Amino acid sequence: MSKRTLRRQLKQVLDAVPKPALFEQGQELLTALEPVLQQHRSFACYLNMDYGEAPTEAILERLFQLGKDVYLPRCTDSAASGELPAATGSHVRRQLTFHRMQSMAAVRALRPQGKYLLREPPAETPPPALPDVDVVLMPGLGFCADTGARLGRGAGFYDNYVSRTQQLHGRRPLLVGLALSQQLLPHIPLESHDQCVDAIACGDGQLVWVQGAPGRK
């Protein structure tokens, strides 16, 4: 099955998940992530949409309780970010900038904005340097626990980010996908530019490490 078909099917399934079920699975995700949250210092984490996506507010609140460094992404492009595109010879590309958040109150104050109507930090001038974070908690439409394959929404924001941070900092952060039970798939097609996750936090409370992943314990 093609990625396009998978995306269409998953969007239909996820849009139908009721909010109480999203909240319940969000609490299980927090349980699954607790060992990772305790072990590492700095985290990049998205702020979820109101529907069809694994909720993250409880996770973010826990990170602040633990005194961790927390960064939220903003969707932009390589011209606005002030960075060279990841691919040599390429033109302006979609990119994420990551912004340090000082408190949960500041996170809750964010309102939907931009092309995708996401709750994200406002632009900064100059744009922030790409942080060297320990862990990235990644969104996605689907995940495969056998291979670590992640199916995003097709814009390539996170694949591009991982390439950029490897080039800049010389290391790959631990990539942890956040998956509702409806998002776990037996197979996802992989392309050369796709970045696989090291682990998947699941809506049933399990943390599944991908076989052979760098962060596997």
User: Is 120 within a domain?
Assistant: no
Each residue's pLDDT tens digit, 44-88 = 999 998 888 999 999 999 999 999 999 999 988 776 666 655 455
Query: What's the number of domains the chain is made of?
Result: 1
Residue 163 in domain:
yes
Provide the residue range defining the domain that includes 28: 3-72+132-209
In a domain, 86, yes or no: no
Give the amino acid at 122: P
The pTM (predicted TM-score) of the whole model is 0.90
DSSP 180: -
Query: Quick one: what percent of the chain has pLDDT higher than 90?
Result: 71
Looking at the domain assignment, is residue 81 inside a domain? no
Residue 10 inside a domain? The answer is yes
Q: How far is the C-alpha of 103 from the C-alpha of 5, rounded, in Å? A: 39
Give the CATH number of the domain where residue 33 resides.
3.40.50.10420
Residue 182 counted as domain residue: yes
Q: Which two tokens stand for residue 75?
A: 């969707």
Task: Kindly state whether residue 21 falls inside one of the protein's structural domains.
Answer: yes
